[in-house]
Amino acid sequence: MTSADWGHDIPLVYASIPETYALIKPHIHQTPVLTSTSLNEYASTPRTPEELAGTEWADPSHVPAKPKIRLYFKCENFQRIGAFKARGAFHAVERLKREEGWLDNGGREKGVVTHSSGNHAQAVALAAREAGIPAHIIMPSNANPVKVAATKALGANVIFSGPTAAEREKVTAEILARLNGEAPEAQEANYSFTPDSTAESGASQQDKKTQPKKATATGTATARLIPPYNHPLTILGQSTVAYELLQQLSPSLQPHAIITPSAEAASSLAPP
């Protein structure tokens, strides 16, 4: 299986989520579900005619509704590395550990690769460290220095790219090719990218050359890409947020709707 097509054999359906959750549960926190009396009261306050002016409910004969709304917050800020991204990273790494022959045929030495500006970078670094495999993380040159430092502190090899998504993906492809012996100039199967112990601007790091390290991997396993989004393993891992939420709420409190903020659709919240 190549670094590009792995993980696509797992159906991206709700039925895959319980198994996913069982795989990652030993490695993640069950984050709390909190509510707020003040926000519930505000959400349940009827709108006045003045507030409804200019909306489809601005009919003078309209009788303001008196909703009783309860809001519950799934606090993934208490998750490991401070974000839900840990779920997708641990899912991918746990699947890799169970892939027949991957660890023993070179995967343990080649490790995993990703690109991220922060949270997914830390998540992959953490999951890889606990699995005892290398993590090669491509971060943009304008990444938050605090997140760069946190990623390095988790033992990852950090490689800087330009600030755009296209530049990150280009460097990611190059690193994968080098690790897997596919690049013309690659004479070694494993590379060390000599991350500094302190977080500094990517601009000062970007031109540093990678330093090849004598390869110890002799098998045919490939380094694997763990995309930050748009990949079945990542999406299924993130989906366990909603799965866990529904388990935590009592049957009488099952939600009418789940709302999630998402910049790049990394999280897919499946219905029960």
User: What residues are annotated to the active site?
Assistant: 85, 117
160: β partners: 139
Query: Which tokens hold the place of 144?
Result: 């938050």
CA 243 distance to own-chain centroid = 16
Read off the DSSP letter of residue 109: H
In three-state secondary structure terms, 38 is: helix
Between CA 115 and CA 231 the distance in angstroms is: 13
How many of the other CB atoms lie within 10 Å of CB of 61? 4
C-alpha distances out from residue 81 to 60, 118, 138, 149, 191, Å: 51, 10, 18, 13, 26
For strands 33-35 and 112-115, give the pairing. Answer: unpaired
